[in-house]
Amino acid sequence: AFVLEMRKHRVVRPLLRVAEAYGGPLVNREAGSAGAAVDTSVREPLSADGTVNSDNAYAVLLLNSPSQIHRPFFGSLWRGASVTVCADGGATRLHRTFRTEYVPTMIAGDFDSLSTEARDTFRESGSKVIPLPDQSKNDFEKCLELLAAGTGSVDAKPLHEVYVFGGLDGRLDHTFANVGVVQKFAERFQGGIFLISGYSIATLLAPGSYEVHAYTQYEGLTCGLLPVIGPATKVTTHGLKWDITDTEISMGGYVNSSNAFAEAGPAASTSDDTAWAVAAGRHVVLIETNAPILWTTEIKDSSKNGES
């Protein structure tokens, strides 16, 4: 039997929010008859009275990065977020691309790249401007500290996850630093921190067992598992084209890049989640790791989704 069948594991759905925002059919394994797929209502981060459902509250963070803004994902996630943040020049980028269509809850950083026009426009529109001059941390880390402390949250309720646009493209040292920041704050947000570019989405998997759902409407077949701090000496997958069993992944050794989802999905169902996800046409991958690894998938039609 596959090793994950007998162990508890965490379900990870990186693009669940996007799927819900677009109103696509989700499968409710409890409401339908055996194996039947039924539509469910959209899970909203806000209740009818405007308060945040603590299990659904999330933030969107825009970094000052040259990466493309995936327009469909950005708009749907931004509109449903309980907190929206621009890291320094991310506000300049937001203003240049969308003008005042999207106004952040707050702008934070050392402001070495924030334009006066963007700062004044957003401040007049209600954004909180928070100068954070500490040069021992990058602006991404400073913003996550604010979010982890509950700054800007409705009713100060904890955030479940954070979606970060930028951080995967541009200068290599910035990319590595951003991945390090994600690892530092991974345990502060139960639902995860997701880095989104015009080409990829990535999230850190801490040591443990996972069931990852990929939304075939938005994610392509290509995926990968990458080491982040030292080797992961025992990594096992099920549901990939090239599965691995108790395999070591390390820089300078084997790196599981350019893998792909198996079209049939995992042969062994480890939970009801697996069964209804496969029935809904999603890719499901079971992963077990004894050290932090970065899980990444490609975004479909990335060439069509960048900013103009």
> Quick one: three-class SS letters along the chain?
CCHHHHCCCEEECCCHHHHHHCCCCCCCCCCCCCCCCCCCCCCCCECCCCCECCCCCEEEEECCCCCCCCHHHHHHHHHHCCEEEEECCHHHHHHHHHCCCCCCCEEEECCCCCCHHHHHHHHHCCCEEEECCCCCCCHHHHHHHHHHCCCCCHHHCCCCEEEEECCCCCCHHHHHHHHHHHHHHHHHCCCEEEEECCCEEEEEECCEEEEEEECCCCEEEEEEEEECCCCEEEEEEECECCCCCCEEECCCCCCEEEEEECCCCCCCCCCHHHHHHHHCCCEEEEEEECCCEEEEEEECCHHHCCCC
Q: Is the predicted pLDDT of residue 51 greater than 70, yes or no? A: no
Tell me the pLDDT band of 67, cut-offs 50, 70 and 90: confident
Pick the residue with more confidence: 219 or 147? 147
Q: Is the predicted pLDDT of residue 46 greater than 80, yes or no? A: no
pLDDT at 110: 96
Pick the residue with more confidence: 276 or 251? 251
Share of the chain above pLDDT 70, in %: 73
Tell me the pLDDT band of 53, cut-offs 50, 70 and 90: very low
pLDDT at 269: 46
Q: Is the predicted pLDDT of residue 16 greater than 90, yes or no? A: no
pLDDT at 154: 62
Q: Is the pTM of this model over 0.85?
A: no
